[in-house]
Chain A
Amino acid sequence: MLANLHPYVIAAIGGILIGLASWLLWWGLGRIAGVSSIASEVLTAPTHPDTWRWAFLAGLIVGGCLLGQGLEIPTLPTRPLYLLIPAGLLVGFGTVWGSGCTSGHGVCGLGRLSLRSLVAVGTFMAAGMITVTWMRGAA
């Protein structure tokens, strides 16, 4: 069934699911579904008695693994460490310093009409676009 839909329609359905998951967390726990905040809180306070963050991350990791395998999503061959490690460090450091990523500032922050999040989204989108343009020019 899904295969008959235009890829953009499937992408929008996926986006709606991401939005619904964020709604679920807000309605149920009164929490923002910000993946970088949730992951970094768990890192610094892993034994915090309120374990909802662990449960969310478990759902995200297990769900991604099962669905990725079930739908046979193509994976990349491993890229060089000199690319992956600086990229990971920048994403980790930047999302904690900037208080959010594509989910917290993008999906939730824009939905909350937060000016801070709008500025963050504009900044990381622009930085990402400049980086890709520079990389492709250099390659």
Chain B
Amino acid sequence: MTEALQSSPLRAGRLGLAFSAGLVFAAGLVLSGMTQPLKVLGFLDITAVTKGAFPGLWDPTLAFVMGGAVCVTLLAFAWTQRLAALPVFAYQYHAPSLSQIDLPLVGGAALFGVGWGLAGYCPGPALASALLSVDALIFTGAMLLGMLICKSFLSKKAQIGS
């Protein structure tokens, strides 16, 4: 299978499609203002909603971004596999298999949320603006290091467990 994926037309299709998806993703992030940390922090600053008439000083932009995106993915994940038994350039759909609500899920999300609230970047916008500002570049470097630290921590844990 992995060899077959290396056949040239399929390979070119996969790369072209993944690159295009990255471009469209970036366009959505930039257009919606999500590459501007102050807009994200303005959304997370929920208590500002009490300052003045609704929505007060709160910036609800991110809710519109999420709403627009999830409307599309609800359709995407409900329909795609019914319309196409296989992805165009692959031999299977790789749906996430985990289903348990466990400590890594909640603990990881909580740590991520704290970092997000400190700087206003999540991984997509950080990468999409890494070449535009030193602020984003430094954050992105630290983020990639954090990912590596967690990956090595998880693989050590797996070794001890086995």
The chain A residues found within 8 Å of chain B, CB to CB, are 2, 7-33, 35-36, 39-40, 43-44, 49-53, 55-65, 67-69, 71, 73-79, 81, 83-99, 101-103, 105-116, 119-121, 123-133, 135-136
A50 vs B114: C-alpha distance in the bound complex, in angstroms? 33
Chain B residue nearest to A120 (CB atoms) is B109
Contacts of A132 in B (CB 8 A): 41, 44-46, 117
- Residue contact B18 to A98, C-beta cutoff 8 Å: no
A99 vs B65: C-alpha distance in the bound complex, in angstroms? 22
Would A29 and B72 be within 8 Å (CB), given that A78-B133, A90-B112, A96-B147 are in contact?
Answer: no
Contacts of A55 in B (CB 8 A): 14-16, 18-19, 22
Q: Given A61-B130, A96-B150, 12 other A-B contacts at CB below 8 A?
A: A15-B65, A17-B24, A29-B18, A36-B147, A50-B6, A55-B22, A88-B119, A88-B140, A92-B142, A92-B143, A94-B150, A125-B44
Q: Is B56 interfacial (CB-CB < 8 Å)?
A: no
Chain B residue nearest to A127 (CB atoms) is B113
- Residue contact A40 to B147, C-beta cutoff 8 Å: yes
Query: Binding site of A, secondary structure by majority: helix, strand, loop or mixed?
Result: helix
Would A13 and B68 be within 8 Å (CB), given that A28-B17, A60-B26, A92-B149 are in contact?
Answer: yes
Chain B residue nearest to A76 (CB atoms) is B135
Q: Which residues between 41 and 70 of chain B lie within 8 Å of chain A, taking CB atoms? A: 41, 44-47, 60-62, 64-70
Would you list the 3 A-B pairs with minimal beta carbon distance, nearest first?
Answer: A59-B22, A98-B108, A92-B146
Would A88 and B143 be within 8 Å (CB), given that A28-B21, A35-B124, A105-B109 are in contact?
Answer: yes
- Residue contact A85 to B138, C-beta cutoff 8 Å: yes
Contacts of B14 in A (CB 8 A): 28-29, 50, 52, 55
The chain B residues found within 8 Å of chain A, CB to CB, are 2, 5-6, 13-38, 41, 44-47, 60-62, 64-77, 80, 84, 86-90, 92-96, 98-101, 104-119, 121-136, 138-151, 154
Contacts of A98 in B (CB 8 A): 104-109, 111-112
> What are 24 A-B interface contacts by the 8 Å CB criterion?
A7-B61, A17-B32, A26-B76, A29-B18, A35-B127, A39-B127, A39-B144, A40-B148, A50-B6, A53-B18, A55-B18, A59-B19, A60-B127, A61-B130, A67-B30, A84-B142, A98-B107, A98-B112, A102-B116, A107-B70, A116-B101, A116-B105, A124-B109, A136-B45
Min distance, Cβ A68 to any Cβ of chain B, angstroms:
5
A19 vs B29: C-alpha distance in the bound complex, in angstroms? 11
A89 vs B122: C-alpha distance in the bound complex, in angstroms? 11
- Residue contact A56 to B28, C-beta cutoff 8 Å: no
- Residue contact A22 to B61, C-beta cutoff 8 Å: no
